[in-house]
Amino acid sequence: MREIDKKITIKELIEQYPFFIEYLLKRGIHCIRCGEPVEDMLEDSFKEKGFGEAGIEFLIKEMNNIVKENKSTIKN
């Protein structure tokens, strides 16, 4: 599976890690529920919601840590 980076699209992220839908919703990215473009890159979506570069880097690091912590339960 691809590591999460700021260039991954919302669609790729959700296809690989569907449990991140709730994570994104809690951060204002309603990609699935309200029809926002799922082809947007994660970085662009976070920027549209007001996150700066440091915030985006923090969130991506947090997401990768979540994946690592749950590696045994994630299906390839």
Other beta carbons within 10 angstroms of residue 17's beta carbon come to 19
Q: Please count the structural domains in the chain.
A: 1
Contacts of 76 (CB under 8 A, 6+ apart): 1
User: Taking a C-beta distance cutoff of 8 angstroms, is the pair 4, 64 a contact?
Assistant: yes
> Residue 1 falls within a domain, yes or no?
no
pLDDT in tens, 32-57: 666 566 788 999 999 999 999 999 99
User: Taking a C-beta distance cutoff of 8 angstroms, is the pair 67, 4 a contact?
Assistant: yes
> Residue 40 falls within a domain, yes or no?
yes
pLDDT in tens, 50-76: 999 999 999 999 999 999 998 877 765
- Domain span at 44: 10-73
When pLDDT is cut at 50, 70 and 90, the band that residue 12 belongs to is very high
> Residue 5 falls within a domain, yes or no?
no
> Residue 60 falls within a domain, yes or no?
yes
User: Taking a C-beta distance cutoff of 8 angstroms, is the pair 41, 11 a contact?
Assistant: no
> Residue 48 falls within a domain, yes or no?
yes
